[in-house]
């Protein structure tokens, strides 16, 4: 995904300003080469297109405001020491409320005389000090100074793009909550008001309305037939009754039409056990298809769970899943089994097929539980995240970290994988001591750092980073 960054080039009059001129050109070239667009004052608007006084700050801020709908984040680059106050003023006056990254050019030991010395190393501390005074949150590069052609800078821009996607995406997220939470699952209680305060809106839909809309659809309808074909193309359906596939297709058509009508990006769906008892299928495949197409869908109406899924999907630009922290794996303290029945996106599996849901079949009958996606999660690096609304403190809180899915042997049902996370016992203790849910969002990527940064630094949520 191409991002648009507002670029502020720092300059200070008694430092060599040829560095500001070349630094601006080089930074724009580096960002453009990474596939991004740049909004920056031109040399005709300010001296060298940089910001070094109040007048420049106002010009830069006005340019940024004109592009408010385009700019995803702001990058401050310091080719020399930079004018700390003017840079902070430009960000304050623009009032974009987007993430800010502070970058400083490195000096070289053979160019340390007055004509070429940058002192960006020092200037970076000054701009950070001013932004703290202005109460403007900001992010830092991995190294204090970084060359534009370094691997660190390239990775930091990729990371910062993820931070921007997560921050901006969660601030305007609209979630479809389909059905009531299962009565036995107090763990998925949440506060709509805390989420609304963070810019996240919940739109509810009762299952009676879903079933009512399904009742008005004919299996012969073009949309239903297209959805049946899409399901068959998505996952092997051998042994699944045609009647069950038709029900799944109708469910998918109704949910997707309702989400489109209400401008919803993600969903959380009731399953246990109303869907099976009164409709006759599990919604897993329909949800799996939505998640696989980047419309994350969480089961058991776990709304905070789907927020975490969406955060990882925004950071990685790949599908995410909701899993249970479910079992120990033998005696290895750093491994566990992550499992769901399952609605995992197809991208997660080594191989997958549609089957019936073995856990609930004993209660409602096998014929009422077709639609689950069964398979083994493939070996891959992984990120995990969880958010929760804490009514007692009036805050949203969460945790994030990285690990990997392994190819350790595992014979079970549903969708499952063995996960290895360093110091897992410490993480599990943190989850239990702080009363977090047993659900966790996962992504086949190493992008949890962007989720953590966005949630903690820009959304103001209480976050734990698992090293």
- DSSP letter string over 246-275? HHHHHHHHHHHHHHHHTT--EEEE--TTHH
Q: Which pLDDT value is given to residue 114?
A: 79
Q: Are residues 141 and 244 in the same domain?
A: no
Whole-number pLDDT of residue 224: 98
Q: Which of 171, 204, 230 is the last residue of a domain?
A: 171
Express each pLDDT in 279-327 by its tens digit: 999 999 999 999 999 999 999 999 999 999 999 999 999 999 999 999 9
- Rounded CA separation 58/143 (Å): 30
Answer whether 41's CB lies under 8 Å from 66's CB. Answer: no
Considering the chain, what is the average pLDDT of its residues?
96
Domain of 371, in residue numbers: 174-466
**Rounded CA gap, 434 and 32, in Å?**
44
Q: Which of 107, 137, 171 is a domain's end point?
A: 171
**In residues, how long is the chain?**
467
The residue whose two tokens read 């340019």 is 63
The answer to whether residue 354 scores a pLDDT higher than 80 is: yes
Could you tell me the CATH number of the domain that includes residue 289? Answer: 3.40.275.10
Residue 14 reports pLDDT greater than 80: no
> Residue range 404-427: average pLDDT?
97
Mean pLDDT of 349-375: 94
Write down the pLDDT at residue 317: 98
| Greatest alpha-carbon span in the chain | 81
45 in Cβ contact with 170 (< 8 Å): no
Q: Work out the number of other CB atoms within 10 angstroms of the CB of residue 218.
A: 10
Q: How large is the average pLDDT for residues 90-111? A: 95
CATH code at position 138: 3.40.50.10940
Contacts of 444 (CB under 8 A, 6+ apart): 316, 318, 347, 348, 378, 380, 381, 382, 405
Do residue 184 and residue 302 come from a single domain? Answer: yes
Residue 256 — pLDDT band, cuts 50, 70, 90? very high
**pLDDT score, position 229:** 98
Same domain? 61 vs 83 = yes
Its pTM stands at 0.96
Q: What is the pLDDT of residues 372-405, one digit of tens each?
A: 999 999 999 999 999 999 999 999 999 999 999 9
Domain total for the chain? 2
Please work out, in degrees rounded to the nearest 5, the angle formed at the alpha carbon of residue 395 by the alpha carbons of 392 and 396: 120
- 261's CB contacts (< 8 A; 6+ apart) are none
Q: What is the pLDDT of residue 434?
A: 97
The reply to whether 182 and 308 lie within a common domain is: yes
pLDDT confidence of residue 414? 94
What per-residue confidence (pLDDT) applies to 272?
A: 83
CA 39, CA 148: separation in Å to the nearest integer?
18
Give the residue from 117, 148, 171 where a domain finishes.
171
- CA 378 vs CA 79, 408, 424: distances in Å: 45, 10, 20
């Amino acid at each position: 995904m191409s991002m648009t960054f507002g670029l502020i080039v720092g300059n200070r009059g008694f430092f060599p300003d040829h560095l500001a001129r070349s630094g601006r050109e080089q930074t724009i070239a580096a960002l453009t080469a990474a596939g991004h667009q740049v909004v920056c004052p031109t040399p005709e608007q300010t001296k060298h297109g940089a910001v070094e006084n109040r007048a420049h700050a106002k010009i830069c801020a006005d340019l940024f405001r004109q592009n408010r709908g385009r700019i995803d984040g702001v990058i401050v680059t310091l080719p020399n020491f930079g004018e700390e106050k003017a840079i902070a003023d430009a960000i304050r006056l623009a009032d974009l409320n987007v993430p800010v990254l502070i970058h400083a050019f490195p000096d070289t030991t053979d160019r340390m005389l007055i004509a070429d010395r940058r002192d960006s190393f020092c200037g970076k501390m000054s701009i950070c000090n001013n932004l703290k005074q202005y109460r403007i949150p900001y992010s830092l590069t991995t190294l204090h100074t970084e060359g534009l052609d370094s691997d660190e800078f390239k990775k930091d821009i990729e990371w910062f793009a993820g931070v921007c996607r997560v921050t901006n995406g969660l601030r305007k997220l609209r979630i479809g909550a389909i059905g009531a939470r299962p009565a036995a699952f107090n763990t998925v209680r949440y506060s709509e008001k805390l989420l609304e305060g963070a810019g996240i809106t919940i739109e509810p839909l009762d299952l009676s309305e879903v079933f009512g809309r399904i009742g008005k659809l004919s299996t012969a309808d073009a949309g239903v037939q297209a959805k049946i074909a899409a399901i068959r193309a998505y996952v092997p359906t051998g042994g699944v009754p045609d009647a069950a596939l038709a029900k799944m297709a109708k469910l998918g058509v109704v949910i997707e039409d309702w989400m489109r009508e209400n401008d919803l990006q993600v969903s959380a769906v009731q399953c246990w056990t109303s869907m099976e008892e009164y409709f006759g299928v599990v919604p897993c495949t329909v949800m799996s298809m939505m998640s696989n197409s980047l419309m994350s869908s969480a089961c058991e109406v776990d709304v905070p769970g789907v927020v975490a899924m969406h955060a990882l999907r925004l950071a990685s630009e790949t599908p995410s899943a909701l899993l249970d922290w479910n079992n120990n794996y033998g005696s290895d303290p750093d491994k566990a089994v992550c499992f769901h029945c399952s609605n995992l996106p197809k991208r997660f599996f080594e191989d997958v097929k549609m089957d019936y849901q073995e856990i609930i079949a004993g209660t409602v009958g096998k014929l009422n539980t077709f639609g689950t996606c069964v398979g083994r999660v493939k070996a891959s690096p992984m990120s995990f995240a969880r958010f929760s609304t804490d009514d007692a403190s009036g805050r949203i809180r969460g945790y994030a970290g990285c690990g990997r899915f392994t190819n350790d042997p595992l014979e079970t049902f549903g969708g499952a994988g063995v996960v290895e996370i360093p110091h897992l016992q410490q993480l599990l203790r943190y989850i239990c001591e702080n009363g977090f849910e047993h659900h966790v969002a996962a992504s086949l990527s190493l992008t949890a750092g962007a989720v953590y940064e966005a949630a903690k630094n820009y959304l103001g949520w209480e976050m734990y980073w698992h090293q």
